[in-house]
A and B are shown apart, each in its own frame.
Chain A
């Protein structure tokens, strides 16, 4: 067999393998969307779930998912940003930073159900936070923190050292250089990373089952005082999210239209995650353009 034939065969095999991967993805997406989209309606997206009869929606779960996501991001982003800035801009190569890096790696490989159980024991039981949005947000933070830190650190590392030298040579302190030069330059790629991780957090179920809980009490969307128990903003109420809802109705749901609700909810979940993924790239590119050629 000569080199040309071998090359053709190799190319063919590689194409076939990548096509299979793409095919599996599209088949899955297609299956979920074709099954689910017909059930979507304004009513389905906004009304509360019903446990025993048909015609329930996912309104509260959808709201819970977004609220939890925002809270989790509010907690994890500043911590991840600080850690990433430290690791990339300040940390010297020594034992201490090696330990931090290893810790982050281990944290990122923890199965999310373990994070959930840990959150249950520590926050729900020990700290008496109960099954609540707050417990869930903290669990999601543990789950999200290592990946977000890594992603921001990569964004900072992409900024060439020339910029750091230019800052230093201009008489900027290290912090001023980070704040006024490095961070603005890294914003597009940081934003992309944050939105991508938001997609992952949005679809997370295992870490939430034992922390944010599996019930979605009725909410009064006219009451925005976070201290009232029926207020959507109350962080101490239990809050079943969309992903947890899908898991729950499939394992113990008894409503007659359970298949329709499950299919519809899955479609919504997938659509939101896809939106996050596409908009992450778009947003990053848009910001980059704005920064470089505005």
Chain B
């Protein structure tokens, strides 16, 4: 699946992050290949979500957060003063823990990004919506109620519509912040299936609390602990044969 010959889509070096005066990330070096799933695992407060949200500059929405270090995303310096966060976030899509469809119809949710980008042709929109919903494996369930409110869907369907909404804008990188932790097992399974289908075409970074999920769907796994990156490797190495003792303890359930 992934090997060292793959092109790197995102390369981060010496990433530090402070909430006020409290340092939450202590220098993270991490590279991501242009295809496949990388899982970020670690106990609560280890900094994995914090790191993920630094990639598309979601911390800009909060006061008092300082980020340093270099983020090279396909040649773009993410934190350069000239980088426009609006453009950046169009290229880096994000799916959140809670499904968060907008209070419109399913169709309008998925077409939203394209409409804002100026696409008006109905045929183009129809096609893009169908394609994105199919990619997110939710088309069959919503195709008859496309023009009804997305808030009427189940949590799992809403989350897959959220995935479709992001895919419709053709991002280069997809960030997933614990996308199944608010869902029931069946819906979680559906989301995992969706991600597995996408991993040949997209670069994805997923933060997850579930080690079994990381082992099921990811190609590479990075283990975070107390704001440090302990170890990153192919997923099976991390789970079967980790180099560091902390990793071994965590994946075998001895703490966390």
The smallest beta-carbon distance between B79 and chain A, in angstroms, is: 16
Chain B 79-106 residues near chain A, CB threshold 8 A: 85-91, 93-94, 96, 98, 100, 102-105
**A-B interface pairs (CB < 8 A), number:** 73
The residue that A171 contacts in the complex, of B98, B151, B169, with Cβ under 8 A, is: B169
Q: Which residues of A contact B104 (CB under 8 A)?
A: 184, 291
Question: Which single member of B87, B91, B96, B151 contacts A166 (CB below 8 Å)?
Answer: B96
* B149 lies within 8 A of A292 (CB): yes
Residue B48 at the chain A interface, CB threshold 8 Å? no
Interface string of A147-169 (1 = CB under 8 A from B): 00000000000001011111111
- The answer, yes or no, to whether B69 is at the interface (CB within 8 Å) is no
**B166/A170 in contact, CB under 8 A:** yes
- The chain B residues found within 8 Å of chain A, CB to CB, are 56, 58, 61, 63, 85-91, 93-94, 96, 98, 100, 102-105, 112-113, 116, 148-149, 151-152, 162, 165-166, 169
Q: Please, how many residues of chain A have a CB less than 8 angstroms from a CB on the other chain?
A: 24
Contact of B149 with A172 in the complex, beta carbons under 8 Å: no
26 contacts between A and B (CB under 8 A): A92-B63, A162-B96, A163-B100, A163-B102, A164-B61, A165-B58, A165-B61, A165-B100, A166-B102, A168-B85, A168-B89, A169-B58, A169-B89, A169-B93, A169-B166, A170-B93, A170-B165, A170-B166, A171-B86, A171-B90, A172-B116, A180-B116, A291-B103, A292-B152, A293-B151, A294-B105
Q: Is the interface of A mostly helix, strand, loop or mixed?
A: helix
Q: Is A223 an interface residue (CB 8 A)?
A: no
The answer on a CB contact under 8 Å between A162 and B61 is no
What chain A residues lie within 8 Å of B162 (beta carbons)? 166
- Given the known interface contacts A162-B98, A163-B102, A166-B96, the answer about A293 and B148 at a Cβ–Cβ threshold of 8 Å is yes
Query: 1/0 contact trace for A254-294 toward B, CB 8 Å?
Result: 00000000000000000000000000000000000001111
Asked whether A171 lies within 8 Å of B149 as measured between CB atoms, the reply is: no
* Residues of A close to B169: CB separation below 8 A: 170-171
Complex: chain B residue closest to A164, CB-CB = B61
Beta-carbon contact of A166 and B86 below 8 Å: no
Q: A166-B96, A180-B116 are in contact. Are A173 and B103 (CB under 8 A)?
A: no
- In angstroms, how far is the closest chain B Cβ from the Cβ of A153? 19
Besides the known contacts A170-B89, A170-B90, 16 further A-B residue pairs in the complex with CB atoms under 8 A apart: A162-B100, A163-B100, A166-B96, A166-B162, A168-B89, A169-B56, A169-B58, A169-B89, A170-B169, A171-B169, A172-B86, A181-B102, A184-B103, A185-B102, A185-B103, A292-B151
- Residues of B close to A181: CB separation below 8 A: 102
Q: Would you give the shortest CB distance from B107 to chain A, in whole angstroms? A: 12
**Taking the complex as formed, is A53 at the interface, i.e. its CB lies under 8 A from any CB of chain B?**
no
> Within 8 Å CB of A173, what residues of B?
86
**Which of A162, A171, A185 counts the most B-chain CB atoms under 10 A from its CB?**
A171
Contacts of A105 in B (CB 8 A): none
CA of A171 to CA of B162, assembled, Å: 14
With A163-B100, A185-B103 already in contact, the answer to whether A169 and B94 are too (CB < 8 A) is yes
B102 proximity list for chain A (CB < 8 A): 163, 166-167, 180-181, 184-185
Give, as a whole number of angstroms, the nearest-CB distance from B230 to chain A. Answer: 28
CA distance in complex: A184, B169 (Å): 22
From 166 to 208 in chain A, residues with beta carbon under 8 angstroms from any chain B beta carbon are 166-173, 176, 180-181, 184-185
Given the complex of chains A and B, what is the CA–CA distance between A176 and B117 in angstroms? 12
Would you give the shortest CB distance from B12 to chain A, in whole angstroms? 19
- In angstroms, Cα B63 to Cα A93, docked, is 10
Q: Give every chain A residue within 8 A of B86 (Cβ-Cβ).
A: 171-173
Residues in chain B near residue A293, CB distance under 8 A: 148-149, 151-152
Complex Cα distance A166/B162, Å? 9
Q: Is B116's CB under 8 angstroms from A176's CB?
A: yes
Lowest 10 A-B CB distances belong to which pairs?
A171-B90, A169-B94, A162-B100, A171-B89, A166-B100, A185-B103, A292-B151, A292-B149, A173-B86, A293-B152
